[in-house]
């Protein structure tokens, strides 16, 4: 974290590298050059580190170690799941991340977009209708439904969607990038066929992630080469990053319920402060189940980019929705799908918290928001 940041409230964009991840990575680097494909002793040591990490992650994610494919992050995992699945068409929730939406559209296969309600929760009846319509006999469909929204934090009904998909012989892929480390994620319990995660969202290093693939699901590799990761993802594994990801996951999963309770309380405090200072503000998905620590809101009288600059000058790090879109000035597709007027959607600000967030961070944000609220009142006068 840079010294100019007084309150880091953009954890959904990236979490600070955890102490456990740093220690694990440093230990690997101190071992010297390690290539897990090499046959000598150093290579065997590298392979042992990777397989230990795979075991650790499997324990915390409710899957078998051999079901885990190590990747470069959430985007690659999503692309591998979507492009590599043996399917004839895609059914994609309007809430999905571009890393899911864009490869589906780029595949040349039919894509049906599944409607959501005003909170951003997928319409399960619509999912059923789309599965029935244009059904293909030669290959199943792939349903793409995230576990938790990167923007609103809303938790999707994945269990119910799995039941519907199974009735129609469809496969289901779950983008759990924003859920892992915030709420329990159990691959076997969810019943999905594939699940993606990204290390830097829960305190691991950037540039590494994983795709969990249920045993028996065929997958066409994106990358062809040396046949690493059981021929499902070629390329020399990043041993230190994988070790750091596993260590970060183990750390963030400790006492998760207590951490979630604390973050939910902080979010409630934050949202109470927002309503007190800006009664006209709209907090999205506030009545739906959300991961703890995410607040997405808008005010009809401000410009989101100007508000971001105000907070930044006060040393407060927040974002205008998805970090992938914030720098491009794009309006949130998810909010539009939720029925939010375009003029309000473009004014949205996301505040997201994590294990390192404290009451002092919320106080700093609300103090800065109070100054902004006074400016808005003067402008309206």
**DSSP string of 151-212, one letter each residue:** TT-BBP-HHHHHHHHHHTT-EEEEE-TTTBTTB---HHHHT-SEEEEEGGGTTS-TT-EEEE
Residue 174 within a domain: no
pLDDT at position 48 over 70: yes
Confidence (pLDDT) at 329? 59
Sign of CA dihedral 132, 88, 86, 117: negative
Residue 296 within a domain: yes
Identify the domain containing residue 292 by its residue range: 7-16+256-380
Confidence (pLDDT) at 379? 81
Query: Region 48-75: what's the mean pLDDT?
Result: 98
How confident is the prediction for the chain on average, in pLDDT? 94
The angle subtended at Cα 225 by Cα 221 and Cα 228, nearest 5°, is 75
Query: Region 272-293: what's the mean pLDDT?
Result: 97
Residue 274 within a domain: yes
**% of the chain with per-residue pLDDT over 90:** 88
Query: Region 72-100: what's the mean pLDDT?
Result: 97
Residue 28 within a domain: no
Confidence (pLDDT) at 326? 46
Query: Region 55-70: what's the mean pLDDT?
Result: 98
Residue 355 within a domain: yes
Confidence (pLDDT) at 251? 98
pLDDT at position 215 over 90: yes
Residue 305 within a domain: yes
pLDDT at position 255 over 60: yes
Verify whether residue 324 is a known catalytic residue: yes
Confidence (pLDDT) at 66? 97
DSSP3 helix / strand / coil % (the chain, rounded to 5): 45, 15, 40
pLDDT at position 323 over 60: no
Query: What is the largest distance, in Å, between two alpha-carbon atoms of the chain?
Result: 75
**% of the chain with per-residue pLDDT over 70:** 95
pLDDT at position 380 over 80: no
Instruction: Name the catalytic one among 63, 144, 253, 324.
Output: 324
Query: Region 66-94: what's the mean pLDDT?
Result: 97
Question: For residue 370, what is the domain's CATH number?
Answer: 3.90.1150.10
Residue 365 within a domain: yes
Query: Region 257-268: what's the mean pLDDT?
Result: 97
Tens-digit pLDDT profile for residues 135-186? 655 679 999 999 999 999 999 999 999 999 999 999 999 999 999 999 999 9
Residue 227 phi/psi, 5-degree rounding, is 80, 25
Please count the structural domains in the chain: 1
Residue 94 within a domain: no
């Amino acid at each position: 974290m840079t010294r100019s940041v007084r309150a880091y409230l953009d954890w959904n964009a990236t979490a600070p590298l955890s102490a456990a991840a740093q220690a694990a990575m440093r230990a690997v680097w101190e071992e010297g050059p390690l290539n897990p494909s090499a046959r000598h002793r150093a290579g065997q040591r590298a392979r042992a580190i990777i397989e230990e990490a795979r075991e650790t992650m499997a324990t915390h994610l409710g899957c078998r170690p051999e079901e885990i494919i190590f990747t470069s992050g959430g985007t690659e995992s999503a692309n591998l799941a979507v492009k590599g699945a043996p399917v004839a068409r895609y059914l994609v929730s309007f809430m999905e991340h571009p890393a899911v939406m864009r490869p589906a559209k780029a595949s040349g296969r039919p894509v049906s977009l599944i409607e959501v309600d005003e909170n951003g929760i997928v319409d399960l009846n619509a999912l059923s209708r789309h599965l029935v319509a244009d059904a293909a006999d030669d290959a199943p469909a792939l349903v793409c439904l995230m576990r938790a929204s990167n923007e609103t934090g809303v938790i999707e009904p994945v269990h119910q969607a799995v039941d519907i998909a199974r009735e129609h012989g469809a496969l289901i892929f779950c983008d759990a990038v924003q859920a892992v480390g915030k709420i329990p994620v159990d691959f076997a319990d969810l019943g999905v066929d594939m699940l993606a995660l990204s290390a830097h969202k829960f305190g691991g290093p950037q540039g590494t992630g994983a795709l969990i693939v249920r045993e028996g699901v065929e997958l066409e590799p994106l990358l062809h080469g040396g046949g690493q990761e059981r021929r499902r993802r070629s390329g020399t594994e990043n041993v230190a990053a994988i070790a750091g990801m596993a260590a970060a996951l183990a750390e963030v999963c400790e006492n998760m319920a207590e951490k979630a309770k604390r973050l939910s309380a902080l979010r409630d405090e934050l949202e109470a402060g927002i309503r007190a200072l800006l009664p006209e503000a709209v907090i999205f998905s506030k009545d739906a189940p959300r991961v703890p620590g995410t607040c997405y809101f808008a005010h009809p009288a401000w410009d989101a980019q100007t508000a971001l600059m105000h907070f930044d000058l006060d040393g407060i790090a927040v974002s205008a929705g998805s970090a992938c879109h914030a720098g491009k000035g794009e309006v949130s597709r998810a909010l539009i799908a939720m029925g939010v007027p375009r003029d309000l959607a473009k004014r949205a600000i996301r505040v997201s918290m994590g294990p390192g967030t404290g009451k002092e961070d919320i106080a700093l944000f609300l103090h800065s928001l109070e100054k902004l609220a006074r400016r808005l009142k003067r402008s309206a006068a």
